[in-house]
Amino acid sequence: MTSAPEPSAAVTLLTLGGTIFMTQDPAGRHAAPDAEAGSRLSRIPIAGVELAHHEIANVSSSDVRPRHLREVLEHARRAVDEGADGVVLTHGTDTLEESAFLLNRYWDRTAPLVVTGAMRPASALGADGPANLHDAVSTAAASPARGLGVLVVFDGLVHLADQVTKVSSRSVSAFASAPAGPVAMVDGGDVQLLHRPLGGAARSQEPLPETLPEVPMMMAGLDEDFSLLDSLAPRAVEGLVIAGVGMGHVSPAAMPRLRRLLDAGTPVVVATRIASGGTSTHHYAYPGSEVDLLGAGAVMAGFLPPAKARLLLQTLLAADAVPEQIRASFDAFAS
């Protein structure tokens, strides 16, 4: 009998749960975390890779907190420093893009930290978890992925953490990247770069806090004047993110309320609720437009969607960043 070849790469698998580690009831509904599903999936052999598994939690993505991600970073750094070629993290898909973005602010190793998950529970017909895990592990062990920071691997494609967005609540092709598209594809065990990314935004030199500052999000829209801000006590929040319309616009009636916040020293970041294109700095100059908001002291989020803009502002506030530092950090994502 021919013995199996020795593994040529070592990858550490960290797990936070998510649909990839869930099973359904006999009727094919009501998916919930299942420890046995996670254990079975983590034992799937992947050719040429020695896989070590450590469970951090088995929760839905809506229950992931900064403390979980802080623990991910601690384990991932230790694994790489002890010789792992890369690290894979399983995560629920609902907030996967946010966790990947937040981890990328703090990941300071050349080895890849790859986030993956599944849209179908482990018990479902056509479950996509095994294939996604295989591709994520292959990416974590691949030399082309080194130096790219935190990556998201889903449905055979590799995405940069700062550009990936969940675009479907049902399809197994749930993630896409804007504006540049996926950075690579996985073909069997091979990872093929599709383009070489430009230098990314600066990483934080501070540790990831266990909790983040209070920064709510508000969405602009027809007949939305942000009157809720009238009942907000001074300094009740540490910052505010607006999901603006168009290139980052709000109603004229909202401007006095936002100016009061800005004049009191509360940072206001304006993103757009539109899926692609980002915010502008110069296209429109009517009341409530980006030029008006910038003149009042707001910061435009560029290509960052509202959820990621919120996380970036939270990490900056946690590090006691001054207004100039906040503006410069968002300029890295300018459109």
Which position among 19, 90, 95, 266 bears the catalytic label? 19
Is residue 151 within 8 A of residue 158, CB to CB? The reply is yes
Phi, psi of 321, deg, nearest 5? -65, 140
Domain count, the chain: 2
Q: Are residues 113 and 257 in the same domain?
A: no
- Residue 39, pLDDT > 80, answer no
Q: Are residues 98 and 234 in the same domain?
A: no
Domain boundary among 144, 159, 193: 193
Domain boundary among 142, 177, 193: 193
- Range ranked top by mean pLDDT from 117-126, 194-203, 272-281: 272-281
With cut-offs at 50, 70 and 90, classify the pLDDT of residue 5: low
Token pair for residue 285? 């100059």
With respect to residue 211, please indicate whether it lies within any of the assigned structural domains: no
Residue 265 CA to residue 240 CA, distance in Å, equals 11
The lowest-confidence range among 93-97, 235-239, 253-257, 288-292 is 235-239
- Residue 48, pLDDT > 90, answer no
Average pLDDT of the segment spanning 23-43 = 77
- Here the CATH number for the domain that contains residue 279 is 3.40.50.40
Q: Are residues 28 and 159 in the same domain?
A: yes
Q: Given this model, what pLDDT does residue 22 score?
A: 85
- Residue 150, pLDDT > 70, answer yes
Q: Are residues 227 and 87 in the same domain?
A: no
Closest by CA to 24, choosing from 172, 155, 168, 125, is 125
Q: Are residues 100 and 162 in the same domain?
A: yes
In which order are the strands placed within the sheet that holds 184-187?
Answer: 49-59, 9-17, 86-90, 113-116, 150-154, 157-160, 184-187, 190-193
Q: Are residues 50 and 168 in the same domain?
A: yes
Average pLDDT of the segment spanning 289-302 = 98
The boundaries of the domain holding residue 28 are 9-193
With respect to residue 200, please indicate whether it lies within any of the assigned structural domains: no
Average pLDDT of the segment spanning 98-102 = 98
With respect to residue 2, please indicate whether it lies within any of the assigned structural domains: no
- Residue 1, pLDDT > 60, answer no
With respect to residue 203, please indicate whether it lies within any of the assigned structural domains: no
Tokens 């979980």, residue located: 68
Q: Are residues 153 and 119 in the same domain?
A: yes
Q: Given this model, what pLDDT does residue 6 score?
A: 64
With respect to residue 241, please indicate whether it lies within any of the assigned structural domains: yes
With respect to residue 212, please indicate whether it lies within any of the assigned structural domains: no
Bridge partners for 10 per DSSP: 50
> Would residue 19 show up in a list of annotated catalytic residues for this protein?
yes
Average pLDDT of the segment spanning 218-228 = 97
Domain boundary among 193, 209, 244: 193
Q: Are residues 41 and 79 in the same domain?
A: yes
Closest by CA to 20, choosing from 94, 111, 84, is 94
pLDDT in tens, 169-179: 999 999 999 88
Is residue 56 within 8 A of residue 75, CB to CB? The reply is yes
